[in-house]
Structure 1
Amino acid sequence: MRLIAVMVAKPGQQLARAIKSEEGTILLNKGARLTEKLIGRLKGIGVSFIYIQDDQIQLPEIEQVISTETREYTINQLKKDFIDLANEWKKNANHFSSFQLNLEFEDAVRLLIGDIKSKPNALTLLLSATSHDHYIFTHSFNVTVYSIGLAVELNYSERQLLEVGLGALLHDIGKMSTPLEILEKPGKLTKEEFEIVKTHSKIGYDLLRQTKHIPLQVAKCAHQHHERLNGTGYPQGLKEDEIHPYAKIIAIADVFDAVTTNRVYRKKPMLPHEALELLYSGASTLFDLSLVTAFRKTIAVYPIGLMVTLSDNRKGVVFQQNREMSTHPIIKVLYEDGVKLEVPYFIDLMKHLNITIIGTDAFEEQS
């Protein structure tokens, strides 16, 4: 079993893990043989990466940090309330009259916190290949998972974890006011369209701050998650300590998920290590360096099943994560100097810090 990008999948390959809808319905079973039509369908429903069967690569069972039940419950709550809001916006001539916080939202966040704290594994959402019919639902879920994971790493209290989780879950609620044709536009937005998109932060903030039982700091997450340390963000151009700590966390999770998932306006998604490099390139100017460093500890920088090339020209597959050092997983070595080994062996990169991963093969076409 190995991890590949859907864009390089080939007819005849077999799925090693099932593809599910956001609600948990199985769309393609494990073992399904891919065809051109099925590959096109996977691209069309927003699946970025899949696991395919490979008899030469035997991997241990991969445990998902977030249970299927928690995921389905959270996505369903988002869909129900967000769709109602979108309909209300249209009905009331571009105005939200009110938003009633569902207690189910808090329940969903508590379930996510419980799952993350009970399984101290590196977070990766590439393992759960799911389709989506509106990216906001999946994106809000993913951002919440990454934000809570980072907050746990920072030893936040239970109350703080709940507030960060709610802030992340509702950070894009204002986008229910944004026309779908703009959100799903495949090309670059015009200046006017981008100005419309930017209004979602203020609209979400105004909606949440007048909602009963929503702490002000949760509303600030909707308002400030696009602010940047150097003042180049929006809507207020806040700097440094003017930005709420929760919003700084969600900003990192927001960008990370945005670049690692399929979007209609992007040719291909990034792998986690590439997204992390992007965050580091903006550390101390756009994002808080200490938060980016802590975030690196929480995610699977190199997901299990990913084919990698090492600095000494060996090649293998990521076999197991090292939670203490996510950039240095355990590798099952399959090739040395381009020659396939009859007997593969393991190398723990955390015990060999002079050896690093210098390349990945998820986007390479292979026979």
Structure 2
Amino acid sequence: MRLIPIDALKPGMVIGKKIYNSDGLVLLSEGVELTDRLIRRLGGLEISYVYIQDALTEDIVVQELLSEETRLKAIQSIRSNFKKLESRPDLGGSFLHLGKSFSGVMEAIMDELSEHEECMVLLTDMNTNDYNLYRHSLNVCLYTTVLGLSFGYSREELRVLSLGALLHDIGKTRISQSLLQRPGRLSLEEFREVQRHTELGYQILKNEPNIPLMAAHCALSHHERLDGSGYPRGLKGPEIHDFAKWVAIADSYDAMTTQRVYKPALLPHHAVEVMYTGSGTLYEQRFLEVFRDRVAIYPPGITVKLHTGESGVVSKVHPHVPHRPVVRVLTDAEGVPLTAPYELDLSKTLAVMIAGIGQANVD
């Protein structure tokens, strides 16, 4: 299968990978043939990219970080618990259900990701409609867990880190959803209201006996930055706990690569470039290096253009050198389709570079 932008879809194309709605439910299954009506429907959902089936790339498989069953259970658990908080008029009382409700979900997530020694940060929402708090919380949890596994944290450390990542934005349940989803620039007063989600999240979590205090600090400090430019306390460098630094990286990456009402999604390689401009000033450099080495900046199925002028589709990503994937070359330097496409392993052919993202021309 290959990944193509929504504006390149044509009637007769066949969906290659399930498309989900904001609640994690399937909108369109793989194998569905697109019609003009379905393409217009997808456009209305503000989906950026779609995986389609294609004869030249039919054997290219896009790995999922989680099984569909675990993903759906996680989304439903997050949605159910966050909805309970949204319906509470104040923060009085206890939220004992939180730790108990998420314990099974966290164990399932850690077990599935731990089974894959070469697990990578793979884009999860290229074929999912607009930003959603529940899905964003799960994505940040998945990305952070992958990074924590790669960094070598113990099972207990990983459990705390992953739970902190899952609940990092729980304070947004106390902020007006219309304000969170408002397109365009917020006023200073509105922006300060949105910023309150860090402190509100900390207040929700800090006294819960089933929630580690460090998970509450992830909610409080995931918008702090090394140079002190973050919020809510303007902490610097070593004043910020490492767990919050990990969550900051995962949170920023998912925000950049997810379609929002006020901005289009960035492709992974572009998002990583943007994040690297903040290396050592916004984000911890040694953590960002782990992230760089674990993120598939050119996801399987995406069309790339080589510096030789040839173009093709990424067919495989190497876990240890994700920026040097295997490319199935489909056209020559003049853009003429090859009669015999071939695989080019950029981890071995070091003289060839990816020049950019190409046009996904599918007949």
| Fold shared by both chains (TM-score > 0.5) | yes
Q: Which residue of 2 aligns with 1:58?
A: 58
Structure 2 counterpart of 1:151, one-letter code: G
Residue 96 of structure 1 contacts residue 207 of structure 1 at CA under 8 Å; is this kept in 2? no
The answer on whether the counterparts of 1:49 and 1:126 sit within 8 Å (CA) in structure 2 is: no
Q: TM-score, normalised by structure 1?
A: 0.92
Q: Cα 1:243–1:263, aligned 2, differ >3 Å: closer, same or farther?
A: same
Give, in whole Å, the separation in 1 of the partners of 2:108 and 2:126: 17
Counterpart residue identity of residue 2, structure 2 = R
**2:70 corresponds to which residue?**
70
SS at match of 2:196: helix
Asked if residue 355 in structure 1 is aligned to residue 352 in structure 2, the reply is yes
Flag the 1:344–1:127 CA change in 2: closer, same or farther, 3 A: farther
8 Å contact from structure 1 (residues 140, 168) kept in 2: yes
Q: 1:219 aligns with which of 216, 225, 239?
A: 216
CA deviation profile, 1:20-46 (whole Å, cap 9, x unmatched): 335553321223233444234334445
With normalisation by structure 2, the TM-score equals 0.93
Q: Which one of the candidate residues 220, 235, 239 is aligned to 1:238? A: 235
Cα distance between partner residues in 2 of 1:193 and 1:40: 34
The residue type equivalent to 2:188 in the other structure is K
For 2:177 and 2:219, the matched residues in 1 are separated by 19
> Who is 2:272 aligned against?
276
Question: How do 1:1-367 and structure 2 match up within 5 A?
Answer: 1-21=1-21, 23-45=23-45, 47-89=47-89, 92=90, 95-100=91-96, 101-119=98-116, 120-126=118-124, 129-131=127-129, 135-266=132-263, 268-338=264-334, 339-361=336-358
Please state whether the residue corresponding to 1:293 is helix, strand or coil: helix
CA distance in 2, matches of 1:172, 1:46: 23
Work out the CA distance in 2 between the residues paired with 1:48 and 1:117: 30
Describe the shift of the 1:96–1:361 C-alpha distance in structure 2 as closer, same or farther (beyond 3 A). farther
Spell out, residue by residue over 1:272-329, the C-alpha distance to the aligned partner (whole angstroms, 9 max, x if none).
1111101111100100111111011222111111010112222111001101100001
Q: Once superposed, what is the RMSD of the aligned Cα atoms?
A: 2.0
Deviation at 1:214, TM superposition (A): 1.6
Please list the CA deviations of residues 203-225 of structure 1 after superposition, one character each: whole Å capped at 9, or x if unmatched. Answer: 10111102122221111000000
Which residue identity lines up with residue 165 of structure 2 in the other structure? Answer: A
Distance (Å, rounded) in 1 between the aligned partners of 2:252 and 2:44: 22
Which consecutive residues of structure 1, in runs of 5 or more, have no partner in the other structure? none
> For the residues of structure 2 that align with 1:288 and 1:40, how far apart are their CA atoms?
42
CA distance in 2, matches of 1:294, 1:274: 17
Counterpart CA distance in 2 for 1:250 and 1:158 is 17
Q: Is the 8 A contact 1:9 1:365 kept in 2?
A: no
8 Å CA contact retained: 2:99, 2:210: no
Distance 1:40 1:182, change over 3 A: farther
SS of residue in 2 equivalent to 1:350: coil
Could you tell me whether the CA contact under 8 Å between 1:22 and 1:72 is conserved in 2? Answer: no
Q: Percent identity?
A: 38
* Residues 96 and 193 of structure 1: CA distance in aligned 2, closer, same or farther (over 3 Å): farther
Pairwise CA distance, 1:9? 3.0
1:340 Cα deviation (Å)? Answer: 1.6
> Aligned equivalents of 1:311 and 1:226: distance in 2?
38
- Which one-letter code corresponds to 2:332 in the other structure? E
Residue pair 2:100, 2:210 contacting (<8 A) in 1 also: no
Closer/same/farther in 2, CA of residues 236 and 43 from structure 1, 3 Å limit: farther
Amino acid at match of 2:234: G
